[in-house]
Amino acid sequence: MTLPAVPIVIDGRNLYDPDAMAAEGFTYYSVGRTPVTAENHSLESTASARKFKNA
């Protein structure tokens, strides 16, 4: 069995925190949220996106 070069998580129930997943090096996709990767991870950008969405 070969593992993917980039660890990817697809979260269909929004169980995990995007910031925490990116901090651990995962590319993280969830329903209704902006995808997050370790490379483009920014606490400020994801927090502001969540504020905008929840407003």
Compute CA distances 50 → 6, 14, 33, whole Å. Answer: 25, 13, 8
Instruction: Write down the pLDDT at residue 11.
Output: 95
The first and second tokens of residue 39, run together, are 């490379």
> Tens digit of pLDDT for each residue in 11-45?
999 999 998 999 899 999 999 988 888 877 655 55
What CA–CA distance (Å, rounded) separates 34 from 13? 14
Where are the domains positioned within the chain? 8-54
The pLDDT confidence band at residue 9, using thresholds 50, 70 and 90, is very high
d(CA 52, CA 7): 28
